[in-house]
Structure 1
Amino acid sequence: MKIFWIPLWLISIVCSSLMAQENRMIMTVKGPILPEQMGSTLIHEHLLVDFIGADQYDPTSWDKDEVADVVLPFLEQVKALGANTLIECTPAYLGRDIPLLVALSQRSGLNLITNTGYYGAVDNKFMPEHAFTETAEELASRWIAEWEQGIEGTGIKPGFIKIGVNSGNLSPLHQKLVKAAALTHVTTGLTIASHTGPSLAAFQQLELLENEGVAPNAFIWVHAQAEKDKSKHVAAAEKGAWISLDGIGEQNLEEYLDFLLHLKSKKLLHRVLISHDAGWYSPREVKGGEFRPFSIIGEKFIPLLLSNGFTQDECHRLLVENPANAFSIQKKLHK
């Protein structure tokens, strides 16, 4: 079923002068585009994830051609449904592979967006050694350098900041990650997407960001579906944060419909993002293991929304307008 997608075939790279138009830019692995060129967007997906841990991480341990052969059909499937952009949320030391993303973007025709930042969730298993000793300013300087110079010598720039924190009260280390993300945002204008879960850590992050001069609308509360108290979603959205409901799958469609109906009733759909958190090729499994497709939203969830009182315009907002607003590169400062 294709009626909800807004296919846009404008995937040519915008000239470098677009870099100066900070509030009109999205950064893909093939360069900057206008927000209007994103089209229908999946805001939280993964193409490759390596769970071995930062201390053993080796990005040469997988065959890029094999990975591409496994992943490409899933990208072509969602492209055929009308999607135009996929935001790849795998951070450094967890499987972020820039040459692979460029190749897959070129072969699939999808805009792919990658990130800078470090992932502290899962008790810091995926944090590099230097992250434990460096200051927030030093970490931020690394992430800013990826924006200014490109990632790992590729010249490819990140389109957002990805961090991760444990649930519960933020540890001093994770407070440092949030501060580093804030400092990076103030310099670059990149949006901060934080793997978070329940609301306690989300609101603590919002407070830290505001203390560093960053406005709530620069923050995406990733995995907000882990918080079952819908009033917390409302409170964060009313502050201006993005509420990311990014675990949509075959077994939970009604639960996500309920989340969205509640936010719609509060007139807050303009602060909501949806995705699958699906994929991915796992280098430690035979042939990459089981790959979950990116098609459930297009094939099943949007039809469910339409049959439960959502309009085409509201679906367009969720899949097109909100991602463009959330990931536009612009300094969003707290006043």
Structure 2
Amino acid sequence: MNKRQQQLWLFLFLLPCLGIASCQATYLQTVTGAVSKKEVNYTLIHEHATTNFIGASSVTLPPDKQPAITTILPHLQIVKAAGVTTLFECTPSFIGKDVVLLQELSKQSGIHIITNTGLYAAVRQKYLPPYAYTENYKALAQRWIDDFKNGIDGTGVKPGFIKLGVNEGPIDSIETKLLLAAMETSKQTGLSIAVHTGDYQSALSQYQLASKQNFPLRKLIWVHAQNATNEQRKLLAEKGIWISLDGVSETTRQYYVEAILFLKQHKLLHRLLLSHDDGWAVLENGSYHQLELFGNGNKTPYSTIHRFILPELLTKGVTQKEIDQILRHNPISCFGLKR
């Protein structure tokens, strides 16, 4: 057999495998099941329904979901009418994450809602359970992998991403352990890691750890990258990390427009994610009867991007194709899973 025949034989041998790989469908894991990328239009990648700030040791989920549904559902219906099909609900474990509520909101609104697994060490570790300190990173990862395979807390609802929270400055030992656990979970499941990040120094240390671990940077999201400079965002975006500008509000919208234009200028819109970080605080532990809208500068939650940001971007030279890139294609590229 000559060299050309050997090459042809090898190609024919590998062809079925290549066909299987090319046919792998991309999907998002939502609270009601998997949805294909064809079902996804505009996506808000960092929002909240209800969040309980009382602390990990005391938080109790309300059995009656209806008061929260009554409050939140009309706002989901408004953004759905504006073209939003998908919303990532970023409330972490032990801060009031209620996947049963999210399921019902998704069913009634028709919006695909994605929940998370992981742990949140920001705010002086107020929201960490005891096992976060005693278990090693592999044990923590196994908890999160079980969530993905079997569902969260016996509900059958599976997470579509990993949510962590870290403080300002270089990540400490507990934050490092959580990030190692998240990277292990990602390797086993394909889930991307969204890290609430205190400042640029924290983001930089996350990048350094991920690089040391040979972790694919396309699976790492710098949450709250608005709390940095254009040049700092540019540096890590060029490394391959996702830049999440997720505090859009009516009062700060000009800042976000300018940040987006800077990324456009440097051909980095393909690394950008955009959202509001809106939601409601639970004022009475164990009940949804008293909810207070976050004081993020948005009188109407989830809507400022479509009401103000997009129209202004179009007047500043951002094309409709680029808007589709930011709000539709980037979330799929970032969070999409393969069957």
Matched with 1:322 is: 330
Q: Which structure 2 residues correspond to residues 196-275 of structure 1 after superposition, within 5 A?
A: 196-227=197-228, 229-275=229-275
Matched with 1:24 is: 26
Do structure 1's residue 123 and structure 2's residue 127 form an aligned pair?
Answer: no
Q: CA deviation at 1:239?
A: 0.7
Q: Which structure 2 residues correspond to residues 287-326 of structure 1 after superposition, within 5 A?
A: 287-290=290-293, 292-326=300-334
**What SS does the aligned partner of 1:63 have?**
coil
Matched with 2:60 is: 58
Q: Write out per-residue CA displacement over residues 15-35 of structure 1, whole angstroms, 9 at most, x where no aligned residue.
A: xxxxx9766121011111112
Matched with 1:188 is: 189
Q: CA deviation at 1:70?
A: 0.7
Matched letter for residue 242 of structure 1:
W
- Residue 198 and residue 153 in structure 1: after superposition, are their counterparts in 2 closer, same or farther (change >3 A)? same
Give the number of aligned pairs.
Answer: 311
Q: Any conservation in 2 of the 1:23–1:328 contact (CA below 8 Å)?
A: no
Matched with 1:279 is: 279
Which one is further off, 274-283 or 68-77? 274-283
Q: Any conservation in 2 of the 1:224–1:233 contact (CA below 8 Å)?
A: yes
| Distance of 1:260 and 1:69 partners within structure 2 | 34
Q: CA deviation at 1:212?
A: 2.6
Matched letter for residue 250 of structure 1:
E
Matched with 1:132 is: 133
Q: Write out per-residue CA displacement over residues 285-320 of structure 1, whole angstroms, 9 at most, x where no aligned residue.
A: 963023651111111110011111111111111110
Matched letter for residue 289 of structure 1:
E
Q: Determine which structure has more spread, i.e. the larger CA radius of gyration.
A: 2
Q: Any conservation in 2 of the 1:164–1:195 contact (CA below 8 Å)?
A: yes
Q: Which runs of 4+ in 1 moved over 4 A?
A: 20-23
Matched with 2:41 is: 39
Give the aligned CA root-mean-square deviation in angstroms: 1.9
Q: CA deviation at 1:68?
A: 0.8
Matched letter for residue 68 of structure 2:
V
| Distance of 2:24 and 2:116 partners within structure 1 | 17
Task: State the TM-score, normalized to the length of structure 1.
Answer: 0.89
- Residue 330 and residue 242 in structure 1: after superposition, are their counterparts in 2 closer, same or farther (change >3 A)? farther
- Residue 302 and residue 186 in structure 1: after superposition, are their counterparts in 2 closer, same or farther (change >3 A)? same
Q: Any conservation in 2 of the 1:191–1:329 contact (CA below 8 Å)?
A: no
Q: Any conservation in 2 of the 1:282–1:289 contact (CA below 8 Å)?
A: yes
Matched with 1:152 is: 153
| Distance of 2:140 and 2:322 partners within structure 1 | 39
- Residue 205 and residue 21 in structure 1: after superposition, are their counterparts in 2 closer, same or farther (change >3 A)? farther
Q: Any conservation in 2 of the 1:190–1:330 contact (CA below 8 Å)?
A: no
Do structure 1's residue 94 and structure 2's residue 98 form an aligned pair?
Answer: no
- Residue 316 and residue 122 in structure 1: after superposition, are their counterparts in 2 closer, same or farther (change >3 A)? same
- Residue 37 and residue 197 in structure 1: after superposition, are their counterparts in 2 closer, same or farther (change >3 A)? farther
Which one is further off, 280-289 or 252-261? 280-289
Q: Any conservation in 2 of the 1:159–1:190 contact (CA below 8 Å)?
A: yes
| Distance of 1:148 and 1:239 partners within structure 2 | 31
| Distance of 1:281 and 1:222 partners within structure 2 | 20
Do structure 1's residue 82 and structure 2's residue 90 form an aligned pair?
Answer: no
**What SS does the aligned partner of 2:123 have?**
coil
| Distance of 1:122 and 1:21 partners within structure 2 | 44
**What SS does the aligned partner of 2:52 have?**
coil
| Distance of 1:212 and 1:119 partners within structure 2 | 21
**What SS does the aligned partner of 1:86 have?**
strand
Structure 1: tracts of 5 or more residues without a match: 1-19
Matched with 2:19 is: none
**What SS does the aligned partner of 1:54 have?**
coil
| Distance of 2:23 and 2:141 partners within structure 1 | 23
| Distance of 1:58 and 1:22 partners within structure 2 | 40
Q: Write out per-residue CA displacement over residues 255-293 of structure 1, whole angstroms, 9 at most, x where no aligned residue.
A: 001111111110000000000001124243963023651
- Residue 301 and residue 320 in structure 1: after superposition, are their counterparts in 2 closer, same or farther (change >3 A)? same
Q: Write out per-residue CA displacement over residues 172-217 of structure 1, whole angstroms, 9 at most, x where no aligned residue.
A: 0101111010110010110000000321111211221233331111
Task: State the TM-score, normalized to the length of structure 2.
Answer: 0.88
**What SS does the aligned partner of 1:148 have?**
helix
